[in-house]
Structures are given as C-alpha cells and as structure tokens.
Structure 1
Amino acid sequence: MPDDPYKALGLTKTATADEIKKAYRKLVRTSHPDLHPDDPGAEARFKAIAAAHDVLKDPETRARFDAGEIDATGAERPKREYYRDFADSSDNVYQQRRAAGAQGNPKDFFEEILRQRARGAGGSGGFGGGFSAPGQDARYNLEVPFLDAVRGAEQRITLPDGQSLAVKIPQGTEDGQTLRLRGKGEAGYGGGAAGDALITVKVGEHSVFRREGDDILLTLPITIDEAVLGGKVSAPTIDGPVGLTIPKGASSGRTLRLRGRGVTRAGSKTKGDQMVELKIVSPPEVDAALSDFLMEWRKTHEFDPRADLMKGAGT
C-alpha cells in the first residue's frame, strides 16, 4: 500500500476536496476489478485507491495525516519523544524507554513516569511534580443503515468493557467518515483529560437508493404506455414518495431531476438533488391485443432507433 495517499490518487497536498473526489471516481473506473475482470492487477490498484480515498475524503482525517498523527492506513503514529524533554528531569526514564525498544507503548511510558514520581514522593502515592498527560484516543467501527446516515439518527455502540455509548449520526454522514466523541476515550494520567473516541462509519447499501456526493440516484421502472404517452407517476425519495411527471416519448436511460430531494449535510443550508433514471419495463406477459396493435403499427411506421449508431460506426 502506498505510503502517500496523495500519490496514490495522482494529487498533491494542495488538492481540493472536489479534486480528490474527481480523481477517485476517475481511477475507480479504470481499476475496479468488476469492470476489468481480465486485469490481474486491478484489484490491488483498486484497494490502494480506496484506502487513499478513505484517508483524504474526510477533512479531519486528512488534517491528521498531514500533521503526521496517522499513517496512510489511518493508524495512529506514536508521538515523538526527545531526550532533551527529559534529560534535566529527576524523572528521567528515557534510558529505560530506549532499552525497551522503539516499539514500546506510550501508555507504558507514562505509567513509568508516574511510578518514578510516586517513589520520589516517598511511596505515598502522590505525584510530587504534578505530572499529568491526556489519555489515548480509542477507535471503533460502526455500521450505519443508509437512510440513517443521510437523514441523521442516533445509535449505540458496545465498548470492549461491555458499556454502551450513544453515538449521534449527523445528517449527511458519508461512508468512511470519522466521528469524534470528545472525552470518551481512555482515561488520562495524573488528572489529565480523557482521550477521544473516534468512530469510523461504514454506511450500508440500500436496495433502491444510491448516493453520489449530496445527490441521490434512483432507477425508476416505467411502463411502455407511460413512456410513449407520458403522465404522472409516484417516485420514492429519502423523505417519502413524490409525484414525478414523465415526458411524452421518454426513453430508457433518460434522467430526470428532482431538485432539493437529495442529502443535506449537518450545518449546511444547501441540499442535493435526486436524479431519476428511467427504465422502460415490458409487461410480464404480452397479450394478443398489445401484440396485434404493435404489429399493425410496425407495418405503417418506419422508425429505426439504431440508424445514427450504424452510420457513426461506418457500417
């Protein structure tokens, strides 16, 4: 996996959120294994692209990567410790920390400082110099239903110790977005503030709706007569069914826009749209009346929807 998610998407650190989104969509089309089943390297490229997008699409996660707090996989980086920070202190545990190896746990490091201070205070259990440090952040994953993510909801997550934590899902939450619950992480040291809980959201798929940015996508089946004659039909939206006018002579693949029927992000006054793609569906059984009518219509009408296609292909 690339160490730099910007390079994985072919971008620089100055890329805007819109440029990140466009680069990801473009690369997905060229690397998705379902679209390129004969390309043995497609799956690996797609995984690298998806991992890079997960880090950069959320402004908070991107800022933490840019600051060196997390790596390209989203994992926490250990905080750097310098000898000069401890060389003049009576609680110098730098040598013990170094002897324990570079992979030591920061939690063990702070606990050793507390033990040193406790011994310096005559074993009374006090901290002598008043040392304190914030607790570590705790990371969790939470799967959220599609409609709960776009409309907002509240869910509970069970922690490793058996306790439950209420998590407010903001309106418009995206797949892979990280929510921060301040003070809900591990306890601090010596009276220090507790760390935060970082909840990474996995948005489930919906059987009808799809999402692209703040727009909702929907494929709407219509009958042959609705396509030819037009008319008003009922179409589902994330907020309930609405009336939709089908224009006369509509074809499969035509897309209609329902303005303001998309996603509203928390704290935003703007709302996306719903894009409705029409799909003509024949009746499950073609009766004699329909068959006879179309046979007579064919005899008296010349219409070839493939004429321009064949002309453009030079055949």
Structure 2
Amino acid sequence: MMRDPYTVLGVGRNASQEDIKKAYRKLAKDLHPDRHPGDSSAADRFKEVSAAYNLLGDVDQRARYDRGEIGPDGQERMSRTQYRTYTGPEGGEEGFGGFHGGGARGFDDIFGDIFTSFRGGRQQARGRDRKYTLDVSFLEAARGANRRLTLPGGKTLDVRIPAGLEDGQQIRLKGQGDAPPGGAPGDALIEVSVKPHPLYTRRGNDIHIELPISLTEAVLGAKIKAPTIHGDVTVTVPEGSNTGRTLRLKGKGIVNRKSGQDGDQYVRLKIVLPDGKDPELQQFVKSWSRGEAFDARADLKTD
C-alpha cells in the first residue's frame, strides 16, 4: 500500500509548492540511482519519492488528493454518491434487490456495470503527466545540450536542452507520461535546475564576468584574452584603466529564445597585484610623487 505522499516527502499538509519542490529535489538528489548503484532499497525509495512529487507537485492533483478524490497512487476513489448509486439510498442490501426478487438484476450484473463504467472512463481519459527534475551546468543551459535522464525503474529519456533555458523552466516531452489502457499517454515535464558557474553570472540574456588584469596592463593598456560562453575573444584594455571599469562585448551573451538575438557580455576589470613583496614596485611607489597627493577615498560617501 502506498504511503501518504506528504509523509514520503517529509512535509506538512500546509507546505507551499516551493517547499514541496525543495524537499523533492533534496531527496531525489540523495537517492538518485546513479549515486547508489545496485542498491535496491535506495532505488525503491527514489521511486516512492518521485511518485509522491508527481502527485503533490501538480497543484490540481494535490487539491484532489486533499479532498479525498484520488488516493496516494493517483487513482480515482469511488465517491459516496457513486457508492450510493449502486447500493441504494441507505447503503444497505436494498441496492442488491436481486437477492430479494422483484425482477432486479443479480450480483454479477450490478458489479459488472460498476467495473465496466470505470474501465470505460479510464479508456477515454488522458494519462497523467509525470514530473522530473534535471540538473544541468550553466554552459549547457546557456549554449544548449543533449542530456539523458534516468527515470525510476531504469527507463531513460533523451532530453534536448534548448540554448538560453533558465533555472526552473520546464521541458515538455510529449507522450512520455503515464499511458492508460486505450487512452492517450500523458507527457513528461522536466524541470531544469541550472548549477551556478564560478566565473559567469547571468542577468537576463546578458553575461557578467570579473576579469583580473595586472598593474602594467591597467596603466599602459593591453590586448588580452577574455573568456565568453562562446570561446575566448581578444579585448582591449584602455590605458589608465581602473578596477571596476567595464567593457561590453556585443552579442557574446545568451540567445533570446523569443527574438533569436544574442545578449551581450560585460567584462568588469579588476587590478590584481603579484603575491608577496616586490621591492622594485615598492621603490617605484615611494618615488612616485603624485601617489602621495592622490586621495583614493576622496569620493567615498558615508551618509
């Protein structure tokens, strides 16, 4: 018998959809078959967690479960009204009038109708959608990629990650959900979780990076290589550049999925000194007359 999905995910009945999603992500990550090869217990738990999220992660399905219309397995429960239809007004044996004569139909006829009715309903219904999560790298989401998702039970789905996909967005795979007997299958809904990158930060369709430069490059100017999601490019550091100066690289950002145009990349320069003491540099600074008169904090506002 399937357990209560709230218990499976370790959340209360008043949990928000975001809380449910967070609980599922943590459990799915900890229990994923790739992390526990050959562990049937972990695999069973992973299936149970996935099934619980498939129900509670869908707002409509969750509401129906809370109202008692469907069970923890997502299957329809016979309502009191439906039950009374076949058992009579008081729910007693009056509904089975065949046992007392009067020309009523027999036990097999009545229950045959019940099960035929439900079978017919399922045959006409579309299968349930299934929800999964997929972790992808920053560059996979930015540039697009092909990934393979392993489902509970060992089945795999090939997923195309379109360029420019954002964290939390969904990919719909038609016909990869539940397939009821005689009915159209539901879809697989893949929610993408994009991992952060140590260098690149996304803002809209633009990319921002902080690029270290030497004191020499800052003072004298230079042509240096800057990384982008599309590969390295050469940029010009103007003479006298300071930390915080930002260079714009047009069209080196993430593609806009609606317009098809690429965003830009913004390169923020950061002056970095060599590690340790440099006697030559120290001597220069001591002899640099303007350095003593320059107040680097003159524009600092404290109000």
User: Which residue pairs with 1:154 in the alignment?
Assistant: 146
TM-score (structure 1 length as normaliser): 0.61
Deviations 1:166-200 (A, max 9, x none): 01101001111111111100113x42110110111
CA–CA distance in 1 between the matches of 2:62 and 2:217?
Answer: 64
User: Which residue pairs with 2:11 in the alignment?
Assistant: none
Q: How many residues align?
A: 225
CA–CA distance in 2 between the matches of 1:128 and 1:274?
Answer: 57
What stretches of structure 1 of length at least 5 have no aligned partner?
1-47, 55-72, 82-96
CA–CA distance in 2 between the matches of 1:243 and 1:207?
Answer: 21
Contact 1:135 1:193 in 2 (8 A): yes
The one of 103, 127, 134 equivalent to 1:135 is 127
Contact 2:68 2:77 in 1 (8 A): no
CA–CA distance in 2 between the matches of 1:300 and 1:107?
Answer: 74
CA–CA distance in 2 between the matches of 1:253 and 1:197?
Answer: 45
Distance change >3 Å, CA 139–CA 131, structure 1 → 2: closer
The one of 282, 289, 302 equivalent to 2:273 is 282
- 2:55 equivalent to 1:104: no
CA–CA distance in 2 between the matches of 1:243 and 1:225?
Answer: 17
Residue identity in the other structure for 2:239: K
Distance change >3 Å, CA 118–CA 157, structure 1 → 2: farther
User: Kindly, what percent of the aligned residue pairs are identical?
Assistant: 43
CA–CA distance in 1 between the matches of 2:247 and 2:184?
Answer: 52
Deviations 1:6-55 (A, max 9, x none): xxxxxxxxxxxxxxxxxxxxxxxxxxxxxxxxxxxxxxxxxx8x949x9x
CA–CA distance in 2 between the matches of 1:242 and 1:225?
Answer: 20
Deviations 1:255-307 (A, max 9, x none): 21111000014453211111111111001134222221111113676211212
What stretches of structure 2 of length at least 5 have no aligned partner?
1-15, 22-55, 83-108
Distance change >3 Å, CA 117–CA 159, structure 1 → 2: farther
CA–CA distance in 1 between the matches of 2:113 and 2:205?
Answer: 59
User: Which residue pairs with 1:231 in the alignment?
Assistant: 222
User: Which residue pairs with 1:78 in the alignment?
Assistant: 61
TM-aligned CA deviation for residue 119 of structure 1: 2.5
User: Whose helix fraction is larger, Structure 1's or Structure 2's?
Assistant: 2
Contact 1:140 1:197 in 2 (8 A): yes
Distance change >3 Å, CA 129–CA 135, structure 1 → 2: closer
Distance change >3 Å, CA 152–CA 127, structure 1 → 2: same
User: Which residue pairs with 2:282 in the alignment?
Assistant: 291
Q: Secondary structure at the match of 2:234?
A: strand
Q: Secondary structure at the match of 1:219?
A: strand
- Which has more radius of gyration? 2
Deviations 1:59-87 (A, max 9, x none): xxxxxxxxxxxxxx953313989xxxxxx
User: Which residue pairs with 1:67 in the alignment?
Assistant: none
Distance change >3 Å, CA 265–CA 191, structure 1 → 2: farther
TM-score (structure 2 length as normaliser): 0.64
- 2:184 equivalent to 1:217: no
User: Which residue pairs with 2:197 in the alignment?
Assistant: 206
